[in-house]
Structures are given as C-alpha cells and as structure tokens.
Chain A
C-alpha cells in the first residue's frame, strides 16, 4: 500500500541535519551571545509586565516627592513632577522596544517582497527596484526618517512607519544578493521542473534558504531602530511626552542635568543596555550563521 509506505517513511527516524538546530547549538556555545539574549529577554519580560511589577503608575504625580535622589522607595529617584523614574523606564521600554521590533518587522516584510522579486526575476524588474532603492539610500538614514516623520506627524504608529522606511533598502539588498547566489541551484531547478509556481518557489524555496543574513541584519537593525527612535523623541519628533519613551524622558530631564543628574543617567542606561544586549546577540548569531566570518 503506497499510503502505509508513505506513513512508514514519515515515521522512520531519519537523522535530519536541521540547519536551524545546528545554528542554535552553535549559538548556545557562545557565552556572550547567550548573555545578550538572556539580558534582552529579561528586559522584555520586565518591561511587558510593567503594569504588574512597576511600583507606581508611570504618570502618577507626587508633589511631595519631587526631584528625589534614588532611595528605598524610588530606586531610580523621581523626576521634576514627582513621577517614579523606575516605573517610567519600565513602561517606557514597552514603547522603545516595540517601536524597534515593529519597524524592523515591517522593513523585513517589505524587504522580502522587494528583494525576492528583484533577485528572482532579475532584468528590468531588478533594475527598476534597485534604482529606486538607490534613491532612498542617497539620503542618510536619520535625515530620511526625520523628513518622513515630519510628513506623517508624531505618534507611535507614524514613528514606526518612518523608521521602517530607512531600514527597507538594507533588508531588500541583502535578500537579493543571497537569492542571486542560490537562484541557479539544483533544487530550484528541481522545483521548477515539477511545475512549482513562481510564487511557491520564491516563498517556500528561495526565501527560507536566503534568510539567514537577513535575520542577523534584523537583530542589529532592532538595536539601531531603538537608538533612532529615541533620538527622534529626543529632538521632539517621535513619541511625545508625557508618554514615558526613553528618548522623550531624556529630552524632558535634560534641563535638570545640573542638579539632578540621575534623571538623565537612568533612561540612557536603559537604552544602552538594550542595545548592548541586542548587539551581543547579533554578533553571536552572525558567527553561528556564517562560520567563515568567525575569527
């Protein structure tokens, strides 16, 4: 019976050499990368459980506790309106981290679309798409983001969109380069010969095999976008106060730096730790995905 045979084949324990598992294993040996991953995961948990663990509400004003230095009640001190800085940083992480992650997620999707179409079809399609990316990339990323967020206006969603635009070209180019490498492989030819549709070839054969550099790029990208998002809020675009975004917090407490430096130190430290964690993890991921680059 053919069906039972198929069943047998499915159940049979073939030693699969999964690329994904190999990478995970490689990654788990890298102590720095694991440290980065754990740090970031810890931060995610802390920030997203902020309503449960934060000692105060992020906008709770307290006139009796203004400008307090770090103490037992307020671990990171309080700001000029008596708001607890620790609570604000915990809540603020939700803005900063989700902005970075969402912006990169959008950029990855767009990049996948553009990059795979350009790489697979080649010819004039490729030419037009790449020239378009040339135009986008002929402006420095920060400037482009500022111009776009000026058009869209401030706010959470608009900032994510503005941030994602400048990350698209990178993602698209990376995927395209990778697809160009594997486009003529035998397994693609095999897929074509069994009459796979173009969409199917792109989605289930090309993209999964060309993704790995994109993933590294995305990890580093999230770090970069968090940095950019906080810079944007810092100069008054992006997320607006009183939302406790880290950059906006820094910008708000900038004028008190002379007398209350801790107001500036803690939000900045939060940004730096997040980015450090993501970069450690990204470096490790790159080494695991491409052993040739390692040392």
Chain B
C-alpha cells in the first residue's frame, strides 16, 4: 500500500510540472503587452522599456520558463500580481480557505440530499419513489447553477430577506452559494448511489439478512449501504476537484473573494501571473484529492487492496523471470 501511494505521489510530479509548463506557455502567448497592462495607458515608451527589463520580459522564453519553474517549485513563490502589486502567495492564502469551505459545504449538502435520494430510488426500483428521485436528479443536472443562484437570491434575499445575497461573513453567507452549487452533485450522488445499491441489493447476504428476520431498514442501512458506499466515494474526489475549479461563476455572483473570483478577475484584467498561479494551484489540489480518494478506495475495500498487493507481487515475479 505504501509503495502504491509513493508511486502515485511521484507520478504527480511530472504531471504538475507539465501543467505548469503548459499554463506558463499559454499565458506567454496571451494577447497584450505586460508592461502596458501594468502601467496603464499613457506611459512613455522609455518607462515601458524599464518595466519590461525589470520583469525580465526581454529574456528568451526558456530562461523565463526556467525562472518561473524554479520560483514556483523551489522557492514556493508564485510571484506578484500585475494589477495590485501584492504577493500572490498572500492573496491565495487568504482566499483558498473560503473556496475550500464553500466546496466542502456544497459537497456535504449534495451528499446529504443525493445519497438518500439514491437509496429511495433503489429500494423502490421502478416505483414512484424511483421515478421521483431520478426526476429530481435529472432536474439537478439540467438547471444551470448560476441561474438557480439568481433565483435563490431573488427569493431568499430580495423577497424574503432571510439570507445575505453577497459577500462573506458567517456561515449564513455560504448557504445560498452552496444550495445553488449542490444540484449537480445531488444528481451525481443520487445516480451513483442508486446503481451501487441495485448491485448490492440482489446479493445473497442481503437475502440472508432479510430471511433471518432483520428489519428492512437495518438491512438497507447496515448491510446494503455499507457495501455500496465504495463506488459512491469514488465520485467525491472528482466532485471536490471540479468544485474547486468550478466555483468561479458562483463566487462571482455572490461576490465571495475566493480562488474563483481571483482567477476570473485575473482573466478579465489580464493579470496573467495570478491566473497562472491559480490554475497550477488548483491542478495540484485536484490531483491530490483524486489521490486521496484512490487511497481511501483501496483502504476501504479489501478486495482492491489485495489486488494492488497481488499486482506488486506479479511484477516482482515477472522481473525475476526476465
């Protein structure tokens, strides 16, 4: 197991490096002269030249790439924003937790609603509960989250005045964004839970549990759900990663100063170092969350764990033969 984790972690290094190279290259080819963007219009040509020289923009591409990579991965310095002149490390340290909190609340909300929906659907397969649950799931993937966000603002902030429409503060500032963002997750969890439960419910041990007179509720929650949980966990990693990257629209609507708004304002004001840093950081978090899920997956299911161990043994055996 330890070996597997190590191998996966090592494999992350070239991937992240490649992402950094690609993002840096893309940003280099972005339209616009950085010196002009930094100083605004009406700067003399000499001043522009000075700015260019001080940023090292006159160096060849490879030199700049090397400098960027060593700054990012050796000195852990993501650079400074062209617009505000502030350190990007600081703004990320300030903003990342907010996006994290929002993503976790959204994820929890989609689990709390989605998994029971899936269970109801599986238990009443083909019945009315199934149809209603799957219809809710279908609505969940069909409603654009930013539109739902606007409708929620209209109802809960404008009409009823119960919840704040924008900004950050206590937990109540996160309720509307999380509600708007969880619909896709609800659909994902409901569908995944349904199919996983349907697989399990037909197993012999469920029949056994029923036949020994166990109440149906216990059979479902204790025996079926526990065994169906593993495929459900799998989608959590992808969901979480996608949320970190996908909060841009919701953060913009609710004016939450998180990673999403950082990147969106970065793109709109052509503040490329910020976009670059944000993209790389999110790629790292995304890869890490996928890894955590894979490890959890292997840890939770002895069959998969055994498979990894067998694979390792087979490889060693194969090498010995060769």
Contact = CB atoms under 8 A, between A and B. Distances in A.
Interface of A: 134-135, 138-143, 146-148, 150-151, 153, 223, 227, 230-231, 234-237, 247, 250, 254, 257-258, 261, 264-265, 267-268, 271-272, 275-276, 279-280, 283, 295
Interface string B280-298: 0011001100000000000
Contacts of B27: 151
B223 to A, nearest CB: 22
A140 B249 contact: no
A268 B15 CA distance: 38
Interface string B234-266: 000000011011101100110000000001100
Nearest to B22: A135
B245 A275 contact: no
A147 B26 contact: yes
B299 interface: no
B146 A234 contact: yes
Contact of A135 (B15, B138, B246): B15
Given A146-B267, A148-B26, A231-B249, A140 B147 contact: no
B146 A279 contact: no
A236 B144 CA distance: 16
Given A135-B18, A142-B245, A275 B142 contact: yes
A142 B246 contact: yes
B5 interface: no
Most buried by A among B23, B144, B241: B144
Contacts of B286: 138-140
Interface of B: 15-16, 18-19, 22-23, 26-27, 29-31, 125-126, 138-139, 141-144, 146-147, 150-151, 153-154, 158, 198, 241-242, 244-246, 248-249, 252-253, 263-264, 267-268, 272, 275, 279, 282-283, 286-287
Contacts of B141: 223, 275, 279
10 contacts: A135-B15, A138-B15, A138-B287, A147-B23, A148-B26, A151-B29, A231-B144, A234-B249, A265-B151, A279-B138
- Tell me if B's interface is mostly helix, strand, loop or mixed: helix
A265 B241 CA distance: 30
A236 B142 contact: no
Contacts of A276: 138-139, 142
A183 to B, nearest CB: 22
Contacts of B15: 134-135, 138
B58 to A, nearest CB: 21
A264 B147 contact: yes
Contact of A151 (B26, B139, B153, B252): B26
Given A264-B154, A279-B141, 5 more contacts: A135-B18, A143-B283, A231-B144, A268-B151, A280-B138
A280 B135 CA distance: 10
B260 to A, nearest CB: 9
Contact of A257 (B16, B18, B154): B154
Contacts of B245: 139-143
A150 B283 CA distance: 17
Contact of A268 (B150, B248, B279): B150
A257 B138 contact: no
Query: Closest 10 interchain pairs by CB?
Result: A140-B245, A268-B147, A143-B245, A276-B142, A275-B142, A150-B267, A142-B246, A135-B18, A151-B26, A139-B283
A276 B246 CA distance: 21
Contacts of B248: 142-143, 146, 235
Contacts of A227: 144
B26 A140 contact: no
Most buried by A among B18, B146, B158: B146
Contacts of B154: 257-258, 261, 264
A272 to B, nearest CB: 5
